[in-house]
Amino acid sequence: MTATITTVCTPAAPPLQPTVAAEQDCRRRYAPSVWGDFFITYQPCTPEELVSMQEKAMAMKEEVRKIVLAVAVVSGDLWRKLDLVNTLQRLGVDYHYKKEIDDILRAVYDDHEDGGSDGDDLYVTSLRFYLLRKHGYAVSSDGFGKFKDEQGNISSDDVNTLLTLYDAAHLRVHGEDILDNIIAFNTSRLRTLMKTNLEPELLEEIRVTLETTLFRRVERVEARHFISVHEKKATRDDTILEFAKLDYNLVQVVYCNELKELTIWWKDLRSRVDLTFSRDRLVEMHFWMMGILYEPYYSYARIMLTKQVPFVALLDDIYDNYSSTEESNIFTTALERWDEKAAEQIREYLRSFYRNVICCTDKVVEELKRQNNKHAEVVREMALHVAKSYHAEVTWRDEHYVPADVDEHLQISLGSIAAMQTVVLTFVSLGDVTTREAIDWAMTYPDIVRGVTVIARIMNDIMSHEREQASDHMASTVQTCMKQYGVTVEEAIEKLNVIVEKAWMDMVQECIDQKYPTLLLEKVVSFAQSIDFFYKSEDLYTLPYNLKDTLTSMYAKFI
């Protein structure tokens, strides 16, 4: 079922009164929402169709479980076990079989420490390494050494093996030269293959892999993509494929119900607060949060995050374009008091916004308390933390200060990208699995959190620095890198991308170290995947038109 989506500009209250230049700049930069009130009335299916799908999916889910259990007990068939786990994950149904998958991978790790008899197969070795590293097992990369050719390179003439090898190598950590070399050599090989007469399906897989290696893909986007790929395979299991399609559609219904509730909330907020100065990106924000928590049982967590994180973007626009230094000081001081009465100290055009930040955040806190969430008050703490981080940049902006080096820039700008705060809010939304110790740990920017924050900061700057520097804006990491090394924009971006790659290595290492629950670490990685998606080739949050087709497939088009 496909719906027609039109561009809608939601009416708002009379505009704020910042400087004319700032208002013109924002209106030039921010396109209106392409969704408007679409999800208030949209129904992906009838209630009767939904019940029928649910009943069929429930039965098929157990059929697939029998397949998984049958494969798990077969000895000596490592390829089949690994391929099944990989297929379930790429189809997006692995969340139904977490225990079974964990049992299989534990057995694979314990029984085949060195790869066993399958260790001479590069495809099996690569897939084993990929899946075990992805799940936090400290598996060594030394096993790839036996596959070196006379020139010391590791590759394959089989395209599927080559793609799997390339994906595996991207779960590298610092100092793994063998994986670095695999990536360098096979990036060139894959680019060369793109110019050959391979089958269209293989060429497309190469293109997708060169654009985004498997470990960095958003899970629901990959599920939609891989369902189409998998159904063309002669070796597919039709039961698993049909269940994946059903499950995808059922999860889509969950998302649509959430967006209906959120659109009503957002429309009400916009009727009370002038938000014409800001990016109207509710659906895009939900998609971003869904990238972190895609499983249907995290429905409330997605709603909570989608209500809180948009205020981050709104605060960003306020501090960047709609307040002087003096007004920023007053606004931040009022937030520190966290009292509606403090609004009287704020310029009139910001009062309604201030009151609604307080009100909406307080409502989320109360909802969490009713759910016996022990960390509800952290939500207020993160809202204030974001505001203070933006406020800290105002002086740099006003003085047109360009930091001496990227490290100095990141000392202050990591806070204002709000990735750490989003990680903490995600941890809060997960309830009892999260301890206060884990929250405090995340706030110290450990390697995995600093990694996702560096990725967010640098990728955002690479895609937005040219647009933002056209206005009165803080110097980006791109400008700072240019100053530090005396290089061009293109050369600075190359250097910054090296820092991004190192950040991914830090994240993989922390997942292997497993100092905190795997679930928490996985969600930080999922956040990094969503950031990579949004800022891969352009700023899809600010300029969302090219995201429209992807969101239609996520929300308004059954398989």
Instruction: Report the range of poorest mean pLDDT among 33-42, 220-229, 308-317.
Output: 308-317
Three-state secondary structure along 507-526?
HHHHHHHCCCCHHHHHHHHH
> What's the pLDDT at 395?
78
What is the model's pLDDT at position 24?
41
Q: Looking at residues 529-535, what average pLDDT do you find?
A: 97
Q: What is the pLDDT of residue 312?
A: 85
Q: What is the pLDDT of residue 349?
A: 80
> Tokens for 217?
């893909």
- Looking at the predicted structure, is the pLDDT value of residue 9 above 60? no
Asked which of 48-52, 53-57, 408-412, 509-513 is least confident by mean pLDDT, the reply is 408-412
Q: What's the whole-number mean pLDDT along residues 42-54? A: 97
Sign of CA dihedral 336, 337, 340, 344: negative
- Position 466 pLDDT exceeds 80: no
The yes-or-no verdict on residue 30 having pLDDT over 50 is yes
**pLDDT at 34 > cutoff 80:** yes
Task: Give the tokens for residue 201.
Answer: 């399906």
CA atoms within 13 A on the CB side of 208: 18
Per-residue pLDDT tens digits for 152-169: 999 999 999 999 999 999
> Which pLDDT score, from 0 to 100, does residue 476 have?
92
| Domain 64-241: homologous superfamily in CATH | Terpene synthase, N-terminal domain (1.50.10.130)
DSSP state letter for 2: B
List of residues 6+ apart from 436 with CB closer than 8 A: 374, 375
How confident is the model at residue 16, as a pLDDT?
A: 42
C-alpha 104, offset from chain centre: 27
Q: Does pLDDT of 66 surpass 70?
A: yes
Q: What is the DSSP string of 255-310?
A: HHHHHHHHHHHHHHHHHHS--TTS---HHHHHHHHHHH--SGGGHHHHHHHHHHHH
Choose the CATH number for 273-429+439-539 among 3.30.1300.10, 3.20.20.80, 1.10.600.10, 1.10.1740.10.
1.10.600.10
Sign of CA dihedral 86, 87, 92, 93: negative
Residue 464: what pLDDT? 87
pLDDT at residue 91 is higher than 90: yes
* Predicted confidence band of residue 333 (pLDDT cuts 50, 70, 90): very high
Rounded distance between C-alpha atoms, residue 153 and residue 181, angstroms: 7
Task: Give yes or no for residue 201 having a pLDDT over 50.
Answer: yes
| Secondary structure (3-state) at 36 | coil
Q: Are 117 and 108 in contact (CB under 8 A)?
A: no
What predicted TM-score, i.e. pTM, was given to this entire model? Answer: 0.92
DSSP code for 117: G
The reported pLDDT for the residue numbered 421 is 96
| 390-439: pLDDT as tens digits | 888 887 888 888 899 999 999 989 999 999 999 999 999 999 999 999 99
What tokens were used for 43? Answer: 């129904």
User: Is 2's pLDDT higher than 70?
Assistant: no
Measured between alpha carbons, how far is residue 369 from residues 306, 363, 379 in Å? Answer: 18, 10, 11
Q: What percent of the chain has pLDDT over 90?
A: 78
- What value does the mean pLDDT of the chain take? 91
pLDDT in tens, 504-531: 999 999 999 999 999 999 999 999 999 9
- Show me where the domains of the chain are located: 64-241, 273-429+439-539
Same fold, 64-241 and 273-429+439-539: no
Q: Is the pLDDT of residue 26 over 50?
A: no
The predicted-structure confidence for 469-486, as pLDDT tens digits, reads as follows 655 667 899 999 999 999
Residue 4 pLDDT > 50: no
Q: Which residue has the higher pLDDT, 139 or 28?
A: 139
